[in-house]
Amino acid sequence: MAKKYYVYILLTEKNTYYCGYTDNLQRRFQKHIEGKAAKYTRSFKPIKIVYSKEFESKQEAQREEYRIKRLSREKKELLFK
């Protein structure tokens, strides 16, 4: 079985979004909750995953993460509404 990669967007308690990629979505979310994943989510505690998409390669996931991070808040919200 080939390894899968995921791009995800988290909603934080301050009503901001955090975008990242991982090969294990649930484990990465747990690390964010514990404050061990990213500096941003140590300051802005995550509430839930509002968007995720699966990719076949790490490079595809990284490209999509980069694309999403450049979107406006409104365009990010269109992804998951």
Burial of 41 (0-12, 13-18, 19+ CB in 10 A): buried
This prediction's pTM? 0.94
H/E stretch holding 7 reads: strand 5-12
* Sign of the four-CA dihedral 23, 34, 42, 53: positive
For 37-67, write each residue's pLDDT tens digit: 999 999 999 999 999 999 999 999 999 999 9
Residue 22 · residue 8 · CB < 8 Å: yes
For residue 80, is pLDDT > 80?
yes
* Residue 65 pLDDT: 98
Q: Which residues contact 2 (CB under 8 A, 6 or more apart)?
A: 56
